[in-house]
Amino acid sequence: MIGNISAVAGREFRSFFDQATAYILLVVFLVANFFFYFRTVFVTAEATLRPMFELMPWLLLFFVPAVTMRSLAEERSRGTLELVLAQPISSLEFLLGKFLGIMGFMAVALAGTLGAAIGLRLGGAPYFGVMFAQYAGALLLTGALVAIGLWASSLTRNQITAFIVALASIFILMAITMNVVLIGLPPVLATVATRLGLLTHFSAITRGVLDLRDIVYFVSITVAFLGLAYLMIERGRLNLKGGAWRTLRLGVLGILLICVAVNLLGRHIRGRLDLTPGKTYTLSTTTRTVLENLDDVVTIKFFASPELPPQVDLVKRDVEDLLADYAAAGGDNLQLLRFSPSAADPEAQAEAERMSVPAIQFNVLGQEEFQVRQGYLGISIQYADQTSNVPFVRQTDDLEFRLTSAVVAMSDPTRATVGFLTGHGEASVLGEASGFAETLEQNFQVINVDITTDGARVPDSVSVLIIQGPQTPLAEAEGDALRAFLAGGGNMLVMVQPLSIDETQAFPNP
């Protein structure tokens, strides 16, 4: 079997380089890639290939159908398909050989884009882990698109028809995740479209994370369309009224239903490989240490409406992943409860209100007007008799920090004290430094410290003293008080050259 597959794959791969069309396609693909990529990277000045891979699906939308349109359609039009299948080779071996041969050619095309990676390496410091994930994702995407192209080529003898069918099919799988389509769909159908769309799964990989759900999605699409292509090949060999044909149709239908079900229920699939620098999408060591050393059980209540706008639904997926990591790391020290507040579940709505997680109104662009939808996407954290909330999760970039900070603040009864020096025109807790102080208050006790009176000193309870932009010099006695504070083991953060912001100018003034 392997020998037959290898023979067909080698023949298919070599056939691309026996004609000028393949070289033209390669040149057009690479030139388009580099043109759009470098015009973007020079503007952003960031050493990353992400802009190229974000555009990659749209280039493959045309490139893959052009490559696959002749694979089976030409065999049918020349009458060589029946001749080949009359040899001691099965239809499955023939199809897999075709698939691998085309994938070899596509791998050559993707390898050509490594020139951009080499250029980044010479001029910057790109993250190779992220690049590996992006190229792995591109191969998975390409495999799915090649399978679609082979299926389209198996439907007809005409190469142009095969190209159009493949292009239309791929475009539909890409377009169902676009806002212009989602806004016209009911919430349930919009969620289904998001989970079955190509762009949703590929965009997650471009950030440098190989999620098992995304891998399963692309593999399932590949298997499903190869199954359909196999069905069309066998249609010309089997008796359409016989039992073998009926059995084959039922088998392929079963594969299709399994693939759809797996992707619709894909939220329950766990596992990912985080190749980003510092493992951005993986729980930090600090968080794991905090969860392992808890003295009591932390209860995290996650409130998420079942029908959210597609854009918010992607945030919901990331939050679910993060909370699942928390539950796994916390073990018996952490209890994760999920609620789906909606009109059909008033008890969950009441619990959300009791935990001070409000309903949020989402402005969604409808077909003719803006539509207002109401939903929940918030978190409540309980420890002992204390509660901390994240009323609405807008993004997950800093969510781990916020959750862990809340747990630390509630579980540590002796919070360190941070003092802000006053009396010299510094930014005060209630004035210019209010935002800074509010952030610190999540984990520390924040107080003002005044040492301008005779004999005053920094309180012993202060662990860190912040001097933020003094406008007048300190007296000698005040300097002695600060030196005594440092000698006693205190810490100090001094910001002596503040910037004055003039909103009418483009740049701040020192």
Ranges 8-22, 154-168, 340-354, 490-504, most confident: 154-168
CA angle 178/180/181 to nearest 5° reads 70
Where are the strands (E) in 391-461, listed by range?
417-422, 445-450
Which residue would you say has higher pLDDT here, 372 or 477?
477
- Helix/strand/coil for 361: strand
In whole angstroms, what separates CA 108 from the centre of its chain?
27
pLDDT of residue 127 exceeding 80, the answer is no
Does 426 or 183 have the greater pLDDT score?
A: 426
Q: Residues 421-459: pLDDT tens digits?
A: 888 887 766 666 667 777 777 777 788 888 888 778 888
Residue of 200, 181, 158 lying closest to 69 (CA atoms): 158
Question: Which residues contact residue 251 at a Cβ distance below 8 angstroms, ignoring those fewer than 6 apart?
Answer: 227
Q: Are strands 370-375 and 377-383 parallel, antiparallel or unpaired?
A: unpaired
| Residues 192, 198: Cα–Cα separation, whole Å | 12
At 106, is the pLDDT very low, low, confident or very high (cuts 50, 70, 90)?
A: very high
Of the listed ranges 88-102, 107-121, 234-248, 453-467, the one predicted with least confidence: 234-248
Helix axes 20-44, 50-68, angle to 10 degrees: 160
Q: Which amino acid is at 443?
A: N
The residue whose two tokens read 């001691």 is 88
Q: How many residues does the chain have?
A: 510
Whether the per-residue pLDDT at 122 is higher than 80: the answer is no
CA dihedral 214, 219, 221, 227 (to 10 degrees): -170
Q: At what angle do helices 243-264 and 212-235 cross, to 10 degrees?
A: 160
- Which position has the higher pLDDT, 192 or 268? 192
pLDDT tens digits for range 280-306: 777 888 888 888 888 888 889 999 888
The DSSP-derived string for 142-167 is HHHHHHHHHHHHHT-S-HHHHHHHHH
Question: What distance in Å separates the CA atoms of residue 385 and residue 387, rounded to the nearest whole number?
Answer: 7
Contacts of 377 (CB under 8 A, 6+ apart): 303, 304, 305, 308, 312, 315, 316, 319, 360, 392, 393
Which residue type, as a one-letter code, is found at position 331?
Answer: G
Asked if 359 and 341 count as a contact pair (C-beta separation under 8 A), the reply is yes
Give the pLDDT mean for 135-144: 94
Exposed e or buried b per residue across 173-185, where buried means at least 16 C-beta atoms within 10 angstroms of its C-beta: bbebbeeebbbeb
* 39-91: pLDDT as tens digits: 776 665 666 788 888 889 999 999 999 999 988 888 887 777 767 666 777 88
What would the mean pLDDT of 461-472 be, rounded to a whole number? 86
Q: Note every long-range contact of 59-63, with CB atoms under 8 Å and residues 24 or more positions apart, other chains counting.
A: 59/29, 59/32, 59/33, 60/141, 60/142, 60/145, 60/170, 61/145, 61/167, 61/170, 61/171, 61/174, 62/167, 63/25, 63/28, 63/29, 63/109
Residues 3 and 8: their CA atoms lie apart, in Å, by 9
Average pLDDT over the chain reads 83
- State the angle between helix axes of 198-206 and 128-154 in degrees (0 to 180), rounded to the nearest 10: 160
Give me the residues paired with residue 338 across strands: 302
Give, in order, the Cα–Cα distances in Å from 39 to each of 32, 33, 43, 45.
Answer: 11, 10, 7, 10
Go through 144-155 and write b for each residue having 16 or more CB atoms within 10 A of its CB, e for each that does not. Answer: bbbbbbbbbbbb
- Mean pLDDT computed over 468-475: 83
SS3 of residue 293 by DSSP: coil
> Cα separation of 291 and 327, whole Å?
9
- CA angle at 163 for the pair 160 and 168, rounded to the nearest 5°: 130
As given in the structure block, the two tokens for residue 502 are: 């003039």
> HSE of 352 in the Cβ direction (CA atoms, 13 Å)?
27
Mean pLDDT across the stretch 224-252? 84
Reference 412, options 432, 392, 391, 442; nearest CA is: 442
Q: Which residue has tokens 């470098």?
A: 38
pLDDT value of residue 135: 92
